[in-house]
């Protein structure tokens, strides 16, 4: 079983996945993908999903960090990404960190960069795909930094009782999700007011260092061609398990689309759908892959 992460260094969600690989001390192949469209080698595997990161385990493809972390938890159950006492509540905290809070952190960081810092291709891509308006973001920096500092203050207060991680002595999904938001602000906008205020929070700073120390496991560089060959040589999990409440049947052609986004839907034959996940089968031209998504935030649409 070969684990491949399709990612690029500066992506916060990719950093979340890299830390999850580190927590599990896994060996993995690192395929660096473009940070703008087009991503032809990635979509050969995903069928259209082009966000960062994507995990590949042989011919099983996992889109979105929620599905990626579930896959890693199944591959290497210990140490868990969902340790007691929070357990699955880690997911709810991570979900908040990865939604409005993610936007505030990214906006506070990118908005405080001097104009002209970001490559034009990146500015154009994010405008077209995600509706980013960098001039508006720059004007909103004080507001966005306030959103960042509210959650940073709550985290610092939570950690002030001496716990090592958000849920206690073991790190979990929530730690990785909040960390990557702060990592982006500290890394991209070192001299911003938010980065300085965060650096002055003692409990948060010590926790940040503990999460950094988790590391990334053991990455080995690989090419997109190698990743496609790995998928071609492997057999995906084509087991079927369709929850009748979904209104769909196994084998039916469906499209899976990220809610509230302009992202391309991914078409395939429905394998599995339940309260926590979706899987479809599709042909890449050189074999079949199973493409997995989280249930939350993904729409299943009839063919």
**Sole window of 8-16, 78-86, 135-143, 189-197 interacting with ligand GSH (rule: CB under 6 A):** 8-16
Q: Examine residue 13 and tell whether it contacts ligand GSH (CB under 6 A).
A: yes
Q: What is the nearest approach in angstroms of ligand GSH to the Cβ of residue 45?
A: 15
Closer CB to ligand GSH, 244 or 260, in the complex: 260
Does position 12 bind ligand GSH by CB under 6 A? Answer: yes
b/e 185-214 (16+ beta carbons within 10 angstroms → b): bbebbeebebbebbeebebbeebbeebeeb
Q: Which of 30, 65, 90, 101 binds ligand GSH (CB under 6 A)?
A: 65
How many residues sit in the footprint of ligand GSH (CB under 6 A)? 11
Give the C-alpha distances (Å, rounded to integers) separating 60 from 35, 221, 270, 291.
22, 20, 14, 6
Give the nearer residue to ligand GSH in terms of CB position, either 128 or 302: 128
Among 11, 46, 147, 151, binds ligand GSH (CB under 6 A): 11
Tell me which residue of 94, 104, 82 sits closest to 23, measured CA to CA.
Answer: 82
Is there binding between residue 107 and ligand GSH (CB under 6 A)? no
* DSSP state, residue 162: S
Residue 64 CB, nearest distance to ligand GSH (Å)?
Answer: 4
Q: Computed over its alpha carbons, how large is the radius of gyration of the chain?
A: 19
The span from the CA of 172 to the CA of 136, in Å, is: 34
Within its chain, how far is the Cα of 165 from the centroid?
A: 20
Looking at the Cβ atoms of 130 and 301, the one nearer to ligand GSH is 130
Tokens (6 digits) for 200? 């002055």
Residue 175 touches ligand GSH, criterion: CB under 6 A: no
**Nearest approach, Cβ of residue 292 and ligand GSH (Å):** 12
Residue 231: C-alpha distances to residues 17, 55, 144, 270 (Å): 20, 12, 41, 19
Q: Does 98 bind ligand GSH (CB under 6 A)?
A: yes
Stretch of 20-28, 50-58, 157-165, 267-275 contacting ligand GSH, by CB under 6 A: 50-58
Among 3, 6, 20, 35, binds ligand GSH (CB under 6 A): 35
| Category of 133 on φ-ψ map: left (φ > 0), alpha (ψ -120 to 50) or beta | beta
Nearer of residues 23 and 242 to ligand GSH, judged by Cβ = 23
**60 contacts: CB under 8 Å, gap ≥ 6:** 71, 234, 236, 237, 289, 290, 292
Contact residues for ligand GSH (CB under 6 A)? Answer: 11-13, 35, 50-52, 64-66, 98
């Amino acid at each position: 079983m070969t684990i491949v992460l399709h990612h690029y260094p500066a992506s916060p969600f990719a950093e979340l996945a890299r830390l999850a690989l580190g927590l599990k001390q896994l060996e993995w192949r690192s395929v660096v993908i473009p940070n703008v469209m087009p991503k032809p080698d990635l979509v050969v595997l995903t069928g259209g999903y082009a966000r960062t990161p994507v995990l590949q385990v042989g011919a099983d493809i996992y889109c979105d960090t929620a599905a990626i972390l579930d896959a890693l938890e199944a591959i290497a159950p210990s140490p868990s990404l969902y340790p007691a006492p929070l357990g699955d509540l880690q997911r709810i905290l991570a979900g908040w960190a990865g939604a409005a809070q993610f936007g505030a952190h990214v906006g506070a960081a990118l908005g405080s960069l001097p104009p002209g810092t970001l490559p034009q291709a990146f500015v154009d891509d994010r405008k077209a795909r995600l509706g980013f308006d960098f001039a508006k973001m720059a004007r909103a920096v004080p507001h966005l930094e306030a959103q960042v500092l509210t959650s940073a203050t709550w985290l610092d207060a939570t950690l002030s009782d001496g716990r090592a991680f958000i849920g206690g002595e073991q790190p979990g999904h929530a730690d990785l999700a909040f960390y990557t938001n702060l990592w982006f602000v500290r890394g991209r906008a070192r001299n911003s007011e938010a980065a300085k205020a965060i650096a002055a929070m003692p409990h948060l700073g010590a926790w940040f260092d503990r999460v950094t120390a988790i590391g990334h496991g053991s990455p080995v560089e690989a090419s997109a061609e190698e990743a496609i060959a790995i998928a071609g040589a492997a057999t995906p999990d084509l087991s079927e398990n369709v929850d009748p409440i979904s209104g769909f049947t196994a084998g039916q052609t469906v499209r899976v689309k990220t809610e509230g986004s302009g992202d391309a839907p991914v078409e395939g034959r429905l394998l599995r759908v339940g309260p926590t996940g979706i899987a479809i089968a599709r042909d890449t031209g050189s074999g079949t892959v199973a493409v997995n998504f989280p249930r939350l935030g993904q729409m299943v649409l009839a063919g």
